[in-house]
Amino acid sequence: MKELICIVCPRGCHLRVDEEKDYLVTGNSCPRGAEYGKNELLHPVRVLTSTVRLEGAAVRRCPVKTRQPIARELMLRAAKALDAVTVTAPVRCGDVVLSDLLGTGIDVVATKDFPKTER
Amino acid sequence: MDYELIVIGGGPAGLAAAYAAWAKGLRRVLILERDRELGGILNQCIHNGFGLHRFKEELTGPEYAGRYIEMLKATGVEAKTDTMVLRITQDKCVSFLNPVDGYRTVRAEAVILAMGCRERTRGAISIPGARCSGIFTAGTAQRFLNIEGYLVGKRVVILGSGDIGLIMARRMTLEGAKVLACVELMPYSGGLNRNIVQCLRDYDIPLYLSHTVTDIVGKQRLERITISAVDADRRPIPGTELSFDCDTLLLSVGLVPENELSRQMDVEMDRRTNGPVVYENMETGVEGVFACGNVVHVHDLVDFVSEESSRAGEAAARYILEGETAKEPLLTVENGSAVSYTVPQRIRPAGVDKNVKLFFRVNRVFGKAVIRVRSGETQIACFKREHMAPGEMESVILPKALLPQGGVLTVSAEEVEA
Amino acid sequence: MDDVIIIGCGVVGAACAYALSRYELNVTVLEAGSDIAAGTTKANSAIIHAGYDPVPGTDMAKMNLEGSAMAEDICRRLDVPYERVGSLVLAFDAADLQCLQTLLERGQMNGVEGLKLLSGEEARAMEPNVSGQVQGALWAPTAAIINPWEYCLAMAETAVKNGVRLHRNCRVTDIRREQDGFLLTTTGGEFTAKYLINAAGVYADAVHELIGEKEFTIRPSRGEYYLLDKCEGQRVRHVIFQCPGKEGKGVLVAPTVHGNLIVGPTAGPCVPEDVSNTAEGLRQVCERAVKSVPTIAFRENIRNFAGVRAASDVPDFIVRESRSVPGFFQAAGICSPGLSAAPAIAKRLTELLSRSGLELHEKARYDDSRRRLRFTRLTEGEKNELIAKDSRFGRVICRCETVTEGEIVACLHTPIPPCSVNGVKRRVGAGMGRCQGGFCGPRVQEIIARELHMDPVDVMLEEKGSYILTGETKGGGARGL
């Protein structure tokens, strides 16, 4: 039996996961908690949020996220991979700034709009 | 009258309030925002975890703000950015300053205060030691990192386990800094549990509970800090010192509602929240002046800021379109045992639609517990909780039918025997 | 070769520069720090003392009185915040009442005007928040509060405007006698002059000994302070002292010209420039201050700081020619009331220089004025007129103190421009308020970088080495700010 704090939402449910019973989760308030409890013991995943270089806008960095969660152990490598990315305004929230991050098949997308700005 | 409604602040609270007021029929609404863009602090909160309640999906800060900004674009709400409000009078004259309009005064029928909060600083907690560079509030470091694109340091200690500090521990780690420790004065964390897990534990960052910073060393830039364990009265215990060679100290030691404008216009304040005293519809003691979001009490979740601010916006619209709420009868809400504040502080049952939502915080950690709401000696409602902590805002919903016609309501938290 | 080199641009050095700038002379000021007034002048109680403390007949007594009288006039001419609010020394017991009597007599001998003994009730009527334990008080109407930093800047700026050269980042490392003067080696190059003034504050003994024999020793003494939010600024209306003890004037509570409340200082030996705070020192400030004003809300603290008094082993100011080195004039051991005395010290040194052979001819044209634009003080019409001319005056950068971009840009182009974030703070107040630069710091840094054509990473908080940013994320790149 493992005790976990669910991170799916800010509620932070105190989960108990029973490895003996096919990762049965108790203490969760929603189905996503059950899924999280099981995943967290088998192959934990996280959404990566970061920034990439931005040109032609009023600021120099564009916030981004992975469209889906990636394997937790990839977080540092994935953040590093974003160092090579530069986007140019205009950028729309949801635009793909890097596709197939580290061969995961998961895209990195912009999370904010940036109109083109003359400076 | 220049406007029906002026909203002071274009962060999450102001955006939600203005949108709701428009949706309820107001057509001359102005938002005044001091920063260069709308969205407030959400713009620098590039992490995810926002919107699960409000939009039923997990968004980052800029995405959450973007949703509201898009929604507002479809309305006729006017917004002025780069605009600092300098004065508001009780008859709702708002004086502001910006590069385009200069110094101007406009008048409205109602005003919504949505100025948000600011971070407590080193001075507020009087940390001894040198006054070198390398000491930042977590939010300032976050702005440098996420908006300007600069890292403030490479070896970092974080004082306080508030959410911004925890989020920054992860964020700086991902940008190549080494976060050596997170130090918390209290025996429990001030942030959300999920952030302890995904920001500290994921990266093996130790959390020192019941510890504080007792010395800062550095001639020009920070070179070393010392932390010490504290006793039950939060006094450092000699002999427990632990030193860290670091170039950066981030402070995440609490937020303070920004109520300088409210105080200047003589809005009645609550010493427990450092925010205005509000009624069930988020109206302050000054008729036609409403307040919502972190200027009223510091929230953990933006979703609840939006919800509260929508109520304020709707109430402002109702005030303008239908007139004021009857002042009597009046209920006051007070702290019971283990509760540190309640919002709203006053309820006019006449103004309650179907039910009233009471927000509060407990002042210690609870396992299985009950929340009791009493009218005098009589319990009128009781709610169960599995877990409560001061870092997590609680709320209960009281149906209108349960509300007494006057007197005092108390909210208390009590342990349940195992 | 200069006629006079002044070593140190604290308030004493600046006052000397200001005094000498009236005459047809070549004068240079050498400042070790990257900004002027970086030592004792920057961190003190910000009081112009009435002058009842010093022992009658001493230089301290004479110069305190004379300097305080000059200060009001200088502040008016050079646009320095100054308010003659008066001071009260509180007495809590019979010994204190005796002390008030002594101070009164001293003050009268020193020539302080308007001194008056008050009963406890009279003191509380004047200052309702003082303790109910107060048995009596000495009222001194001539005491004033001032912005000491701007006082120094204003005098230095006026001197520079009238031809004095100021070199910052010039720490004097060697002094040699040359045929008709002195050769100074500094971290910023070599300088020569006929006469020298030593106004090096906590380093005055070290500077003197670069060429002279040991004549005095500086005994630095640190004082710690609280600076409270403006919401506490009305807690008292006058400067509230306790009876002076062995450790100086004790802990005071006073309003500041910025509208805050200042509480402190402690006193204790330290090494020069050690301006760190200690838990014990801060505890002492609180404990002692509430004796005078029990209701001070220390939770409204916005900043602690410490200053170092440049006291010496001589029980008076040392304002004279060096005994071992003719032509080398000392302004040393300038502890409290040094801020009050500064213009009088400068006047005395000018006389000594003249007696020693320096010819003083007044300049035909001398600009003895200074104005600083303070946006918040303007009328609505003036504000709009200014914004119409330059829209940057419509953009508030520092929210807490309402400082506009226009004011920050203007200060970056003054005769003695700042080069650091704190330098801007001291000149225009951005970052001085309750959020302590949390919001405006990054924007001030950006404006400095833009106006001075620097990389933001190179903009320091204070001195070289006090960097704010370690570098860019994402391997750097995209356009600079």
* pLDDT one-digit tens code per residue, C261-310: 999 999 999 998 899 999 999 999 999 999 999 999 999 999 999 999 99
CB environment C46-57: b (16+ within 10 A), e (fewer): bbbbbbbbbeee
pLDDT, tens only, C361-398? 999 999 999 999 999 999 999 999 999 999 999 999 99
Residue B323 touches partner C, C-beta closer than 8 Å:
no
**pLDDT band with cut points at 50, 70 and 90 for residue A11:** confident
**Region B279-300: what's the mean pLDDT?**
97
Q: pLDDT, tens digit, for every residue of B60-86?
A: 999 999 999 999 999 999 999 999 999
Q: How far apart are CA B275 and CA C33, in angstroms?
A: 43
Across B222-330, where does the E strand assignment appear? 224-229, 242-245, 248-251, 255-257, 269-270, 275-276, 289-291
Which residue in B21, B49, B8, B20 sits closest to B303, CA to CA?
B49
pLDDT confidence band for C479 (50 / 70 / 90): very low
Query: Does the pLDDT value for residue C481 go beyond 50?
Result: no
Identify whether residues A106 and A53 lie together within a single domain: yes
Arithmetic mean of pLDDT, A58-67: 96
Closest chain C residue by Cα to residue B96:
C394
Q: Which of A12, A51, A59 sits opposite B46 (nearest CB)?
A: A51
Mean pLDDT of A93-112: 97
Identify the bridge partners of residue C6 per DSSP, sorted by sequence position: C29, C197
B233 and B332 together in one domain: no
Domain spans of chain C, in order of start? 1-80+144-220+310-371, 87-141+221-307, 376-458
A57 & A38 share domain: no
pLDDT digit string (tens) for B200-217? 999 999 999 999 999 999
Question: Which candidate from C227, C275, C472 shows the least CB-CB separation from B150?
Answer: C472
Verify that B158 and B176 share a domain, yes or no: yes
Separation CA C175–CA C196 (nearest Å) = 10
Q: A69: distance to nearest CA of chain B, Å? A: 11
State pLDDT tens for residues B128-148. Answer: 999 999 999 999 999 999 999
If asked whether residues A106 and A55 sit together in one domain, one would say: yes
Q: Which helix (H) or strand (E) holds C51?
A: none
Q: Is C453 a catalytic residue?
A: no
Would residue A115 count as lying in a domain?
no
**Does the beta carbon of B58 lie under 8 angstroms from any beta carbon of chain C?**
no
Give C65-95 pLDDT, tens digit per residue: 999 999 999 999 999 999 999 999 999 999 9
* pLDDT given for residue C245 in this prediction: 81
- Whole-prediction pTM value? 0.95
Residues in CB range of B114: below 8 A, 6 or more apart: B7, B8, B9, B11, B13, B14, B17, B291, B292, B293, B295, B309, B312
Nearest of A23, C301, C218, C70 to residue B123 by alpha carbon: C301
Angle (CA) B84-B85-B88 rounded to 5° is 175
Render pLDDT for C317-348 as a digit per residue (tens, 0 to 9): 999 999 999 999 999 999 999 999 999 999 99
Q: What are the two backbone dihedrals, phi and then psi, of residue C87, each rounded to the nearest 5 degrees?
A: -135, 155
- Radius of gyration of chain C from Cα atoms? 23
Clarify whether residues B14 and B128 are in a common domain.
no
Do A59 and A96 fall within a single domain? yes
Within 8 A by CB and 6+ apart from A103, the residues are none
Report the pLDDT value the prediction gives residue B418, as an integer from 0 to 100.
61
Instruction: DSSP letter for C147, please.
Output: -
Distance CA C264, CA B96 (A): 37
A35 with A64, same domain: the answer is no
CATH class given for the domain over C1-80+144-220+310-371: alpha beta
Chain-centroid distance, C-alpha B91: 27
Provide the 8-state DSSP code for B396. E
> Do B240 and B265 belong to one domain?
no
Looking up tokens 């003082």, which residue turns up? C130
Regarding whether B170 and B278 lie in a shared domain, the answer is no
Q: Which two tokens stand for residue B101?
A: 């309009």
Contact B132, B218 (CB under 8 A): yes
CATH number at residue A59: 3.10.530.10
- Letter for the amino acid at B104? R
A27 and A62 assigned to the same domain: no
Structural domains in chain A (count): 2
User: Does C217 have pLDDT greater than 90?
Assistant: yes
Mean pLDDT of chain B: 95
Q: How far is CA B214 from CA B126, B129, B159, B228, C305, in A?
A: 10, 8, 11, 6, 16
The two structure tokens encoding residue C187: 């971290």
- Would the pLDDT of C478 be above 80? no
Q: Tell me whether residue A116 is in a domain.
A: no
Average the pLDDT over B95-106 and give the result: 97
Residues B155 and B54 in one domain: no
Torsion on CA atoms C452, C454, C460, C466, rounded to nearest 10:
-150
Same domain, B232 and B308: no
Extended strands (E) in C376-470? 396-398, 403-404
Supply the pLDDT for residue C63. 98
CB C70 within 8 Å of CB C168: no
Rounded distance between C-alpha atoms, residue C192 and residue C178, angstroms: 9
What's the pLDDT at B392?
87
Could you give phi then psi for residue B172, rounded to 5 degrees? -70, -35
Q: For residue B110, what are its two tokens?
A: 């109602």
B270 and B247 inside one domain = no
Q: Please report which helix (H) or strand (E) contains residue C350, including its range.
A: helix C338-355
- Assembly ipTM: 0.94
Q: Is C132 on the interface with A (CB under 8 A)?
A: no
Please name the fold of domain C87-141+221-307.
Answer: D-Amino Acid Oxidase; Chain A, domain 2 (3.30.9)
Please state at what angle helix C11-20 crosses helix C148-161, rounded to 10 degrees: 30
CATH architecture, domain defined by C376-458: Orthogonal Bundle (1.10)
Are both A66 and A103 inside the same structural domain? yes
Query: Does one domain contain both B42 and B152?
Result: no
Given an 8 Å threshold on Cβ–Cβ distance, is B149 in contact with C473?
A: yes
Residue A118 lies in a domain: no
Q: What is the pLDDT of residue A119?
A: 54
Considering CB atoms only, which of A5, A7, A111 is closest to B46?
A111
- The per-residue pLDDT for range C149-161, each reduced to its tens digit, is 999 999 999 999 9
Provide the 10 A C-beta neighbour count for residue B179.
26
Asked if C186 contacts C173 with a C-beta cutoff of 8 angstroms, the reply is yes
Q: Is A49 close to B202, i.e. CB distance below 8 A?
A: no
CA C154 – CA C75 distance, rounded (Å): 8
Q: Identify the pLDDT of residue B192.
A: 84
Question: Residues 434 to 473 of C: which have CB under 8 A from any A CB?
Answer: 473
Whether residues A95 and A75 fall in one domain: yes
Last residue of a domain, one of B325, B356, B382: B325
CA distance B218 to B130: 6
Q: Are residues B138 and B245 in the same domain?
A: yes
Catalytic residue among C49, C208, C258, C413: C49
Distance of CA B219 to the CA centre of its chain: 35
Same domain, A58 and A88: yes
**Rounded Cα gap, residues A63 and B62, in angstroms:** 8
Average pLDDT value for residue range A94-98: 97
**Domain match, B78 and B192 both:** no
Using CA coordinates, name the residue in chain B closest to A44.
B202
For residue B144, which residues of chain C lie inside 8 Å, CB to CB?
442, 469
Q: What is the DSSP string of A36-103?
A: HHHHHHHS-EE--EEEEEEESSSSSEEEEEESS-EEGGGHHHHHHHGGG-EEESSB-TT-EEESSGGG
Tell which of B54, B63, B147, B200 to mutate to test the A interface (max A CBs under 10 Å): B63
- Whether residues B68 and B182 share a domain: the answer is no
d(CA C286, CA C277): 13
Q: Which of B48-52, B317-321, C23-27 has the lowest average pLDDT? A: B48-52
Length of chain A, in residues: 119
Average pLDDT rounded to a whole number, residues B244-267: 96
pLDDT at C297: 96
Last residue of a domain, one of B273, B292, B325: B325
Look at residues B325, B345, B376 and tell me which one is the last residue of a structural domain.
Answer: B325
Strands across the sheet with B355-362, in order?
A: B339-343, B355-362, B394-399
As a whole number of angstroms, the distance between CA C429 and CA C432 comes to 5
| Structural domain span for residue A29 | 2-42
- Residue B271, chain C, CB below 8 Å: the answer is no
A55 and A26, same domain (yes or no): no
Mean pLDDT (whole number) for A100-109: 97
* Total domains present in chain B: 3
Q: What is the CATH number of the domain that holds B368?
A: 2.60.40
Whole domain around residue B6: which residue ranges?
1-119+254-325
pLDDT of B294 above 70: yes
Structure tokens at A38: 């099981």
Q: Which two tokens stand for residue C196?
A: 């020298």
Q: HEC profile for B130-181?
A: CCCECEEEHHHHHHHHHHHCEECCCEEEEECCCHHHHHHHHHHHHCCCEEEE
